[in-house]
Each structure stands twice: as C-alpha cells, then as structure tokens.
Amino acid sequence: MTKRLLFLFASIIGLVSGVSAQTLNVVVPQLSPTATDAYTRIIEAIADVEGRTANVQILPFARAIYMMETRQADIESAFVQNPDQKKWAGLNYDYSSAELLKIVFVLYANKTKTINVEDLKSGNTKNYKLETDSAHIDHFPFPIAFSTSIDASLKKVDTGAIDGFIFSQGSTDAALRRLGLKNVMRQYYDTFRGVFLLQKGARDGPVDAMISDGIAKLKADGKYKEIMGQYSSGASKYIEWQP
C-alpha cells in the first residue's frame, strides 16, 4: 500500500513538473527590428523566469493572428488591445490580463490634408481615405481600409493616393525615417494598451497568470527595463517631430 501511494505521489509530481516545463509556442509579428526584438526577448524572459521554454516564430502580422485564431500558438507577443470591450466576445483569441506597455498610435497624413483627429473619432464624416494594419481595422470607430505593408501605405500617403495611415508610432516612425518621405505629416491619434494574445478561453487561466507573474518579476529585478526600455521610449509616449 505504501509503495502504491509513493508511486502515485511520484506520478503526480512528474505530471506537474511536465506541465511546468511545457514549451510555449509563441508568435511574434514582423514589425520594426527594434519592436520585433523587444517582443521576442520579453516573452523569452517571461518564460525563463517562470521555468518555461518559449519556442518563438517571427511571422507576418496576419499569419501570426491566424496562428492564434487556429490555436496553433499559445501566445502572441504582443498586440494592441481593442479599446471597445463590446467587440471582445467576437474575437477568436483573448487578451492577457497584464499590460506589457502603452502603445501610441499616430496619424500619418498627406501634407495637403488637414485632418482633425477628433472629427475622425466622431465617425470620419469627411470620408478621408485611411488605412491601418490589417489586424487593427476593428480598433477604430469609423470604417478604415486594411494594409499589409507599412512601407506601401506610407508611400501612398506621400503620393496622395490615400489621405492617411494610422498605426503604432514605434514601428511606423522607423519606416518613415528609413524611406525619407517628405510629404507626410504626423500627429498624435491615441494611446492603447499593449498586451499579449492568448488562445480563446485562456484569459484568467494558467498561461495568463504566468504572464502576469513573469512581468511583475522582471519589473522587480530590472530585467523589464533592460529589454523594453529602448523600444518603449519611442512607443509609449508621443514624440513630436516632422519628416
């Protein structure tokens, strides 16, 4: 009887250890090199401090979302949370409870267009032709076309093919500087929560708790600032400059 109990206890310990050591399948969207590097390193650090291993794939944004929606990945690092909670129920993934960082979105408009951001938020009554990344078209209170390329959208803004492009400051500023476009004007649009994506139904579950605990530990020991500091300095607070 004693041997049987010991065997059962050992089996339970082995099962728990196996779950703890389970590899997490993580997708990271292809953004600017600085953003992609930061999002990769932070989820690897979270996994490490929690005794887990992260198997990371860097993919085009649309492919990364597809991997989450089809449950082929456990986590996407990272994503901008939709501010309209009424839309969450219709999503095929969940948001993490913990916030990774704030994400500033900027309106990149053609210099010949004077676009008022508050007017846009009231429904884009002037019907400006606008684009955003394909994974974020539901983040706005007005219809907006999807884009699969930051570079292509900025070039269309520069030539006047579209009136504006709205996306994250960190990744889009890097592209704007690299392209050297001069007919683009920047202005602050809004600030959103940058979080992790989880499989549908995983919010408040073990992976969600692991992320929350991991971020807290990394912030406490300074590792968070070491990894995210450079990127967040250009992503979390609006920086006034014009090309």
pLDDT tens string 7-21: 444 444 443 434 445
The confidence band for 234, taking pLDDT boundaries of 50, 70 and 90, is confident
Claim to verify: residue 97 and residue 201 sit in the same structural domain: yes
User: Is 179 a member of any domain?
Assistant: yes
Structurally, how many domains does the chain consist of?
A: 2
Which pLDDT score is estimated for 194? 95
Following DSSP, what letter does each residue of the chain receive, concatenated? -HHHHHHHHHHHHHHHHHHHTPEEEEEEE---HHHHHHHHHHHHHHHHHTT-EEEEEEE-HHHHHHHHHTTS-SEEEEEEPPS-GGGGGG-SEEE-SS--EEEEEEEEEETT----HHHHHTT-TT---EEEEGGGGGGSSS--EEES-HHHHHHHHHHTSSSEEEEEHHHHHHHHHHHT-SSEEEEEEEEEEEEEEEETT-TTSHHHHHHHHHHHHHHHHTHHHHHHHHHHHHHSS------
User: Is 124 a member of any domain?
Assistant: yes
The confidence band for 93, taking pLDDT boundaries of 50, 70 and 90, is very high
**What's the whole-number mean pLDDT along residues 176-190?**
96
**What's the whole-number mean pLDDT along residues 60-79?**
94
**What's the whole-number mean pLDDT along residues 65-75?**
96
pTM of the model: 0.81
Claim to verify: residue 97 and residue 107 sit in the same structural domain: no
Which pLDDT score is estimated for 63? 93
Claim to verify: residue 186 and residue 205 sit in the same structural domain: no
**What's the whole-number mean pLDDT along residues 161-186?**
95
Average pLDDT, the chain: 90
Which pLDDT score is estimated for 21? 54
- CATH of residue 82: 3.40.190.10
Domain span holding position 160: 103-191
Claim to verify: residue 59 and residue 177 sit in the same structural domain: no
Claim to verify: residue 140 and residue 178 sit in the same structural domain: yes
Claim to verify: residue 37 and residue 90 sit in the same structural domain: yes
